[in-house]
Structure 1
Amino acid sequence: MRIAVLGADMAEANQLCKLLSAVGYTSVAISQSGEFLRRLAKETFDLVLVAWKLPDISAIDLLSRIRQGPLSAVPVMVMSSNEEATQVAAMLGAGADDYVVRPVSLVVLLARVDALLRRAYRVNSLAEGTRAPSTTFEELEFEFDIDARKVVREGEAIALTQKEFYLALLLFRHLNRPVSRAHILEVVWHVTGDGMAMRTADTHVSALRSKLGLRPERGYRLVPLYGYGYMLERLPLPKDLRADARAEDTPAELPVSVDKPD
């Protein structure tokens, strides 16, 4: 999970980034809101930690711009030194999902971050090394066996390569949220800005659409976002139509998922 830490005090922001990195999160410290908004237009962040007092823009204005941007649903936690009811109300009213009052115990801060990510992404713990071996997405028919790198839909295993598995897991964790190509390449292929890797990612997205049946008649839509990346959407679908779609889409035999190089 990628976390942006935005604040005027870079020493504090860097300290928070070291703490988050120590428990498995990828984090980046940013001091200027302008730089953050430029990055937000091209990159994916799973959570934003933002100081209430910023040097170049008010936190309320920044929250407003976040909620109007491509990652409008990204969870935001505000860090403030003021716990007066009026300011707390202002934070939440402006679009913050949670807040912490400084000084705050690092243990408490990590617990609040983890709790907010669980609420936002409907999975157990998302930091590397603390994640659950199996992740089931609520109200969805897909279960991800992380240890075996296997996807199960309604009791049937779906054969995916290792890269396809991690790409699918990333997209489902960001269900109904846009995911940038840069973030996909960083998480799945561990590269940045490589044109060939981007084309490879596009090919894998197309394969997932077919293998997982991510089509409107199955209740999903995996769409490209011009100049940005992709978004997997959950669509409403009547139960009888869903049953018909499953019957048409289920082959007689499904191969067991095995690891193989991409």
Structure 2
Amino acid sequence: MRVAILDDEQTEVDRITQTLQNIAKRSEVPWSLHGFSRGEELLRQLKRETFDLLILDWQLPDVSGLTVLRWSRKHLEKQPPVIMLTSRNGEQDVVLALNEGADDYINKPFRSQELQARVLAVLRRQGNVVQNKSPSLKVYDLLFDDTEQQVKRNDMPVNLTEREYSLAKCLISNIDRPLSREYLYERFWPREEVHSSRPLDTHIYRLRSKLGLTPENGWKLATIYGYGYRLERIASD
């Protein structure tokens, strides 16, 4: 779960981060929290990185949180949920942000337990995995069994390493969603390993072959130049 927090007050970023870390401790999915003090900086990252959730202050010294919200709704192919967290509490402000595509609107000063509850509610509506769910996942011809760390394709077991299994399940759980290299490295590679393209590319190549993620089988595991990868379901020949 990769979260961007936009607020020009570091104390607020720290407090939001601490609140979300309480959710992360209970989650089966690793969380990565990224703080930004300027809207322009976050916009640059959104153009080249993947985030699962945006928490945006409205008033910033450069690009406002509302502008970031509008940009994300206009330009991102798969739009992450957005929570506005701001001291602007007028009814017109709330209505404007929600009409522009915000998933929730929270006034400052926020209450930690309420923020946790609202974040979880937004992620549930979006279908993001926050807590442990069913140990199995079946998508078309692929069956993932978390208990055995096993994948079956057309009921035939496929031999995958632990990292290949985790990476494959992430791709399957995010069909049609572009995933940046940094997003995948943060989730599946230890920090001490070098973040070059080769380890990830090698794993992608192996998954294409082992799981039959090819057009003739109804799959396309596409490379997005300068960004990352996207798994798509297509009509097979």
1:228 correspondence with 2:199: no
Amino acid at match of 2:5: V
Alpha-carbon contact 2:78-2:178 (below 8 Å) kept: no
TM norm structure 2? 0.83
Identity of aligned residues (%): 35
2:86 is aligned, of 73, 80, 83, to 80
Q: Answer yes or no: is 1:19 the counterpart of 2:19.
A: yes
Q: What letter corresponds to residue 179 of structure 1 in structure 2?
A: L
One-letter amino acid of the counterpart of residue 136, structure 1:
L
Q: How many residues are matched?
A: 231
SS of equivalent residue, structure 2 residue 232? strand
What secondary structure, in the 3-state scheme, does the structure 2 residue paired with 1:23 have? helix
Q: Deviations over 1:188-247 (max 9, x none)?
A: 11237836x521211111221222232334443210011111111233x4xxx6xxx8xx
Spell out, residue by residue over 1:119-155, the C-alpha distance to the aligned partner (whole angstroms, 9 max, x if none). Answer: 32x3542xxxx42361536x65544333432234565
Structure 2 unaligned blocks of 5 or more: 25-30
* Aligned counterpart, 2:63: 57
- Residue 87 of structure 1 and its aligned partner are, at CA, apart by 2.1
TM-score by length of 1: 0.76
Question: Please, which runs of 5 or more residues in structure 1 have no aligned partner?
Answer: 246-262
| CA deviations over 1:34-81 (Å, ceiling 9, x no partner) | 111222233221111111222212333212222344565122111133
Q: SS of the counterpart of 2:117?
A: helix
Partner of 1:107: 113
Amino acid at match of 1:112: R
Matched residue type, 2:160: L
Report the residue type matching 2:4 in the other structure. Answer: A
Moved more, 92-101 or 45-54: 92-101
Structure 1 119/155 Cα, relative in aligned 2: closer, same or farther at 3 Å? farther
Matched residue, 1:134: 135
The answer as to whether partners of 1:66 and 1:72 remain within 8 angstroms in 2 is no
Q: Which amino acid aligns with 2:197?
A: M
Partner of 1:159: 159
1:90 aligns with 2:96: yes
Q: Could you tell me how far apart the structure 2 residues matched to 1:118 and 1:155 are?
A: 30
Q: Is the 8 A contact 2:171 2:230 kept in 1?
A: yes
Alpha-carbon distance, 1:5 to partner: 0.6
How is 1:158-197 mapped onto 2 (pairs within 5 angstroms)?
A: 158-191=158-191, 194=194, 197=196
Q: Distance in 2 between matches of 1:225 and 1:50?
A: 27
1:124 and 1:135 in contact (8 A); partners too: no
Distance 1:162 1:43, change over 3 A: same
Q: Is the 8 A contact 1:73 1:177 kept in 2?
A: no
Q: Is the 8 A contact 2:69 2:102 kept in 1?
A: yes
Taking a change above 3 Å as real, the CA distance of residues 213 and 112 of structure 1, as seen in their structure-2 partners, is: farther
1:135–1:58 Cα change, 3 Å: farther
